[in-house]
């Protein structure tokens, strides 16, 4: 048993609680972005659970495929699609949703038909103590990941930054500004962790995923609960 597995286990629990929380909000308000965020956080939880499984019980091809599909390939894109529904016109969001759904099905097919070799996770950079896409032997499968993750990260981080900027410019809804800054921070952390993991930094992926899940959750809670703002002193501005 690898004690590092407690980190992704914690990520999985937090993400699952987050997913249920957002899904309940979806049931109350029927906003599509909440449904997609809930699905995205469920994928996050599946990814964390698979990482924990590997740490506690060792290699299992089905668990690896589930981890790669949900934790490495789809999570960022589905979370980002939620933000697209929040900010883009419905027609554009629907078109991108169809593309994402088809891409996800194609990704699932490629991941579940790929040849695997757990020895591929051990390299000059990696010890194999964490799950790594290096186990995938079939060419072209890992090439899909940057497209999904780039779309998801840019949509989620870009959308959160854009929302924060709009509210900040008008000096309204401070809780939304703070929440979106936290969401952008939480979303970018796992992306950095994944990149650092490729450079062989041990624990980078799991720690960044845990911090990402915590900060995303806090950001969501912050963005959805108004802050008791003190009445700020109005400053005169020079005009004309």
Stretch that binds other proteins, among 86-94, 125-133, 145-153, 218-226 (CB under 8 A): 145-153
Q: Does 114 bind other proteins (CB under 8 A)?
A: no
Q: Which is nearer to other proteins, 55 or 219 (CB)?
A: 219
Q: Does 95 bind other proteins (CB under 8 A)?
A: no
Contacts of 89 (CB under 8 A, 6+ apart): none
In sign, the C-alpha dihedral spanning 198, 200, 201, 204 is: positive
Helices (H), 58-170: 61-66, 75-87, 90-113, 144-170
Minimum CB–partner distance for residue 239 and other proteins (Å): 6
| Interface pick for other proteins out of 17, 20, 97, 150 (rule CB under 8 A) | 150
Minimum CB–partner distance for residue 177 and other proteins (Å): 6
Q: Does 87 bind other proteins (CB under 8 A)?
A: no
Tokens of 92: 């554009």
- Report the C-alpha gap between 157 and 80 in whole angstroms: 8
Rg (CA), the chain: 19
Minimum CB–partner distance for residue 195 and other proteins (Å): 5
Q: Which is nearer to other proteins, 50 or 181 (CB)?
A: 181
Q: What is the DSSP string of 21-52?
A: HHHHHHHHH--HHHHHHHHHHHHHHHHHHHHH
Give me the 151-170 binding string for other proteins, x by CB under 8 A, dash otherwise. --xx--xx--x--xx--x-x
- Report the C-alpha gap between 19 and 85 in whole angstroms: 17
Contacts of 147 (CB under 8 A, 6+ apart): 103
The terminus-to-terminus CA distance of the chain in angstroms comes to 70
Minimum CB–partner distance for residue 62 and other proteins (Å): 26
Q: Which is nearer to other proteins, 1 or 234 (CB)?
A: 234
Q: Does 178 bind other proteins (CB under 8 A)?
A: yes
Q: Does 88 bind other proteins (CB under 8 A)?
A: no
Q: For binding to other proteins (CB under 8 A), which residues are involved?
A: 146, 150, 153-154, 157-158, 161, 164-165, 168, 170-172, 174, 177-178, 181, 184-185, 188, 191-192, 195, 198, 229-230, 232-237, 239
């Amino acid at each position: 048993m690898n004690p590092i597995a407690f980190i992704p286990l914690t990520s999985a629990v937090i993400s699952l609680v987050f997913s249920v929380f957002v899904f309940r909000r979806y049931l109350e308000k029927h906003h599509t972005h909440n449904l997609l965020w809930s699905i995205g956080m469920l994928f996050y939880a599946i990814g964390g659970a698979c990482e924990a499984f590997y740490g506690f019980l060792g290699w299992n091809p089905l668990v690896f495929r589930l981890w790669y599909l949900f934790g490495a390939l789809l999570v960022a894109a589905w979370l980002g699609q939620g933000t697209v529904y929040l900010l883009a016109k419905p027609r554009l969001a629907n078109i991108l949703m169809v593309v994402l759904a088809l891409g996800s099905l194609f990704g699932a097919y490629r991941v579940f038909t790929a040849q695997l070799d757990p020895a591929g996770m051990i390299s000059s950079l990696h010890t194999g103590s964490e799950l790594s896409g290096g186990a995938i032997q079939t060419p072209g499968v890992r090439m899909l990941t940057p497209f999904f993750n780039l779309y998801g990260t840019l949509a989620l981080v870009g959308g959160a930054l854009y929302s924060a900027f709009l509210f900040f410019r008008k000096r309204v809804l401070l809780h939304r500004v703070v929440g979106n800054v936290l969401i952008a921070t939480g979303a970018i952390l796992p992306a950095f962790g994944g990149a650092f993991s490729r450079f062989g930094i041990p624990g980078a992926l799991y720690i960044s995923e845990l911090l990402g899940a915590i900060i995303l959750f806090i950001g969501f809670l912050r963005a959805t609960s108004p802050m008791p703002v003190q009445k700020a002193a109005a400053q005169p501005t020079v005009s004309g």
